């Protein structure tokens, strides 16, 4: 299993071809917030422009299907639960394009905010 953000995945998605060709039972959980999430929140913390950290919503499931993956777009926990049987016993590569909310910062961003306050406050 690979858990990856959409920004990082954009830089390495050519590896979909290898996983598909080799029929590797890999599950990719793609956390898709349409942004380089950490960078977005770091820039916002410093009150800098965030435009370069945001990008259009790519339908990664369709891209993965074009490479031969079984792919699903996940918009809710119910969507994920419905795939339980498939995920429990994959018969080839699977990609889950998990649409997540970019407004919610990862917990570690609080540590950056505390550091910023101590050093620049």
Strands 2-5 and 94-99: unpaired
What residues does each domain of the chain span?
2-120
CATH number for the domain formed by residue range(s) 2-120: 3.40.50.970
CA dihedral 52, 3, 31, 79 (to 10 degrees): 170
pTM: 0.81
For the stretch 29-74, pLDDT in tens is: 999 988 887 787 778 778 888 888 888 888 999 999 999 999 999 9
- In the predicted structure, residue 98 carries a pLDDT above the cut 80: yes
- In the predicted structure, residue 109 carries a pLDDT above the cut 70: no
- Report percent pLDDT > 90 for the chain: 49
Assign 21 a pLDDT band (cuts: 50, 70, 90). Answer: very high
Q: Which two tokens stand for residue 91?
A: 């018969």
Assign 119 a pLDDT band (cuts: 50, 70, 90). Answer: confident
């Amino acid at each position: 299993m690979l858990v990856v953000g959409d920004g990082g995945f954009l830089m390495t998605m050519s590896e979909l071809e290898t996983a598909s060709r080799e029929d590797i039972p890999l599950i990719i959980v793609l956390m898709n917030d349409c942004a380089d999430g950490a960078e977005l929140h770091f820039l916002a913390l410093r009150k800098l422009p965030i435009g370069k950290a945001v990008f259009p919503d790519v339908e990664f499931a369709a891209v993965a299907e074009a490479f031969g993956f079984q792919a699903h777009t996940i918009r809710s926990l119910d969507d994920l639960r419905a795939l339980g049987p498939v995920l429990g016993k994959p018969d080839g590569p699977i990609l889950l394009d998990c649409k997540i909310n970019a407004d919610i910062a990862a917990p570690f961003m609080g540590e950056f905010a505390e550091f910023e306050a101590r050093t620049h406050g």
